[in-house]
Amino acid sequence: MLSSVVLGLVFVTTATLIDHQTVTAINTEMAGLQDIHQRGGPGALVKALERRVAGYQGYHHVYLLATRDGEPMVGNLHHWPRVEPDSTGWLRFTVEDDTDQRRDLWPVQARVVPLASGLRLMVGRDMTERSNFAQIMEQSLAFALAAALILGILGGVVMSRNLLRRLDAVNRTAATILAGDLSGRVPVSGAGDEFDRLAANLNTMLDRIQKLIMAMRSVTDNVAHDLRSPLNRLRSRLEITLVGKPDMDEYQASLQGALEDIDTILQTFNALLSIARIEGRNATETFEPLDIAEIAEGTVELYEPVADERDQHLTFDGPGAAVAALVNGDRHLLMQTAANLVDNAIKYAPQGARIAVRVSVTDGTARLEVADDGPGIPEEHRHTVLDRFVRLEQSRHTSGTGLGLSLVAAVAELHGAVLALEDNDPGLRVVMTFVRHPQVRANA
């Protein structure tokens, strides 16, 4: 299509230029002959026309001097053309025969001027070259249009087949997933086009959906498993109390045990609801600039009595009063995260252990660490303990829901922080690095 437009512009421009040159040549020749007639009369004009007809001009120009009635006097035409000129004296006609028999049929554009002597002078130009050029351009345009049409049809067929093939791949993947196979993914051709970007986004979305569904199934299974024991104990205590004839102390012991089982169930559900709210909320909702060092120091002060009861040494090391470890986040969630990390360290570290809470700032990046010299977590289990309801064998004897580190991981993801479990040699060091937070500023 573009080639046809270009050819059309070339044709129009060239044809206009040829027409302009033709008109200029005819007017120039006509002006010269009129001047000869004015200075020398009809005789001089006749001689000039004879010379022109006999010379090279006769092969390109048409000359005819005729009487008022159209009777030819001199020129290279046998008769006056049967075409009437327009209001400006111009006419177009076709010569069927000429004096030198150069051609049988050729187009002419001419101008007619009446002379003062009563004669009529016609000067024209052979338009064969212009006609041939127009014919060639018309053929070229027709060929270009035909080629563009054929290529357009072929290109449309190829593109439509490729489009349908890519859409069929998406439909097959969707059908696979609808059939229950969540492992189906949209194939990526590697061309890097819009379909590949769409496929990559869809595959990322499917990975996320599969992860969420698997997590939901895992949560459902773990909830059923972890709640079955406290519910069975609760039922057994109530059943024994109803069947037997217990005294007041036994009643109180049974009710106390029932309350503990109910508290365990409520803690589990509260932790699950907290994680669900964290994962489903807007990341910027209720966020504000906070000093993580202030939150960590407050948490240490809160848990110092608990650590003292276990003869543990709980310390805090901050960046100093001149620097504020600012992060952009939710105060309640960050306080809950710090409390979970310190509580886990106190709970799993042995009596007399050292627990260190540190906050540092490096190149504007805040970093929170909670380290202990307890049993730690084997490297092969450090990733799995972040999942819900995961409890290692050595922690089975302690109370807990297995959701503490899951909640910490959810809060870290919400705040754009990197959570890492490292070896403290001995013990465990939990590091939370806030990679997206306001620039650290110095206090006044």
Residue, of 307 and 286, whose pLDDT is higher: 307
Reported as a pLDDT band with limits 50, 70 and 90, residue 224 is: low
407 contacts 271 by C-beta, under 8 angstroms: yes
What is the structure's pLDDT at 244? 66
Task: Look at residue 311 in the predicted model and tell me its pLDDT.
Answer: 92
Maximum CA extent, the chain: 157
Let me know if 377 is exposed, middle or buried by CB neighbors in 10 A (0-12, 13-18, 19+). buried
The mean pLDDT of 184-196, rounded to a whole number, is 83
- For the stretch 401-441, pLDDT in tens is 567 788 888 888 888 889 999 888 888 999 999 875 444 44
The predicted structure's pLDDT at residue 299: 93
Question: Per residue in 370-389, pLDDT tens?
Answer: 999 888 887 776 666 776 55
H runs (alpha helix) in 281-376: 292-309, 331-348
Whether this prediction's pTM lies above 0.75 is answered by: no
Which pLDDT score, from 0 to 100, does residue 175 have? 87
Q: Which helix (H) or strand (E) holds 438?
A: none
Residue pLDDT, tens place only, 131-159: 887 788 778 778 878 888 888 889 888 88
Supply the pLDDT for residue 277.
Answer: 67
Give the residue-averaged pLDDT of 67-95. Answer: 85
87-105 pLDDT per residue, tens: 888 988 888 754 555 556 7
Local confidence band at 303 (pLDDT 50, 70, 90 cut-offs): very high
Mean of the per-residue pLDDT values of the chain:
80
Q: Taking each helix axis from N to C terminus, what angle separates 331-348 and 404-414, rounded to the nearest 10 degrees?
A: 150
All structural domains of the chain, each given as residue ranges with its CATH number in brackets, are 2-133 (3.30.450), 194-280 (1.10.287.130), 288-434 (3.30.565.10)
Confidence category of residue 315, pLDDT binned at 50, 70, 90? very high
Q: Poorest-confidence range of 9-18, 81-90, 100-109? A: 100-109
What local confidence, expressed as pLDDT, does residue 1 receive?
Answer: 59
Q: Is the pLDDT reported for residue 397 higher than 50? A: no
pLDDT at 322 over 70: no
In tens, the pLDDT along 229-240 reads 778 877 887 777
Mean predicted confidence (pLDDT) in 111-126:
89
pLDDT at 358 over 90: yes
- How far is the CA of 240 from the CAs of 236, 247, 252, in angstroms? 6, 12, 13
196: Cα within 13 Å, side-chain hemisphere: 6
pLDDT at 300: 93
Q: How far is Cα 299 from Cα 289, in angstroms, rounded to an integer?
A: 18
How far is 85 from 413, CA to CA, in rounded Å? 90
SS3 382: coil
Q: Which residue has the higher pLDDT, 306 or 4?
A: 306
Quick one: which of 370, 365, 355 has its CA closest to 433? 365
The amino acid sitting at 306 is V
Q: Does residue 330 have a pLDDT over 90?
A: no
Whole-number pLDDT of residue 391: 53
400: nearest Cα among 296, 304, 305, 271: 271
- 426 preceded by cis ω (within 30°)? yes
Instruction: Find out whether 330 and 287 touch, Cβ atoms under 8 Å.
Output: yes
